[in-house]
Amino acid sequence: MYKFFILLFFLMISYTVYGQQTDFKTIENLDNGYKYEWKDNKIGFSASMLTGYGFTYYRQLTQNLGVKAQIFAYGTLDDETSYANEIDISGGIELQYTLQKFERIRFYALTGGYYMYNKSEDYFINNDIYEITNSKNIGIGVGCEMLAFNNLSFAFDGGYYFAFINKAYEDSNIGQNPMIIPESKKFEFSLGVAFSVFYSF
């Protein structure tokens, strides 16, 4: 499925670059003189295999350099009736360097990483046994941001990510000192995609 999104991303970039080079003035004229403006601050939501997911803040630091941070937290611990006890925490940061900027479209290179912690009850085995996953990810890639309106934009990214994943089990049956049982360590290298929506101010 992710290969489809990557292909769509690169087709979109190719079409956009071609359109910018060949008929950009015509596109400008269709806006009836409306002036778009790139702003320095953005808030929104990101879902990225490269540098993390969650509620997002972006700040333009210089003419070409910007930084984006995202954080997400979710939990249902100690719910004895749902059989879905879980806590999920993620935080990430990303640097963006603008390669080319037009009135409504911006192309950039990116790099960054994120940390993800997940603890979920393995109720198939025992209500007091939890599976714990720690993941440290590093991503690199390129992206395209498009202004839909003066304060609303969408961004699409594609690239590679490196993930260092540790899994373990926590056995809480033994009282105040739960036992952590290591399960596996894994290194993953793969293609990744991302999507973000921003409100600028």
Range of the domain at 127: 49-200
Would residue 169 count as lying in a domain?
yes
Residue in 1, 46, 2 with CA at minimum distance from that of residue 193: 2
Residue 134 within any structural domain of the chain: yes
The answer to the question of residue 78 being in a domain is yes
* pLDDT for position 120: 85
What single DSSP character describes residue 102? -
Contact 121, 130 (CB under 8 A): yes
Q: Tell me if 1 is assigned to some domain.
A: no
The most confident of the ranges 27-31, 77-81, 165-169, 188-192 is 188-192
- Output the domain CATH number for residue 150: 2.40.160
pLDDT at 123: 57
**Mean of the pLDDT values across residues 136-140?**
97
**129 band by pLDDT with thresholds 50, 70 and 90:** confident
**How many independent structural domains does the chain possess?**
1
Inside any domain, residue 40? no
- 157 has a pLDDT exceeding 70: yes
Per-residue pLDDT at 82 = 55
Q: Is the pTM higher than 0.85?
A: no
Task: Of 47, 18, 39, 9, give the one whose Cα is nearest residue 143.
Answer: 9
**Inside any domain, residue 15:** no
Q: What percent of the chain has pLDDT over 90?
A: 57
Confidence at residue 180, expressed as pLDDT on a 0 to 100 scale = 74
Examine residue 31 and state whether it is found in any structural domain, yes or no: no
Closest CA relative to residue 46, chosen from 154, 135, 160: 154
Nearest to 184 by CA among 124, 123, 134: 134
Evaluate whether residue 19 is within a structural domain.
no
Give me the amino acid identity at 21.
Q
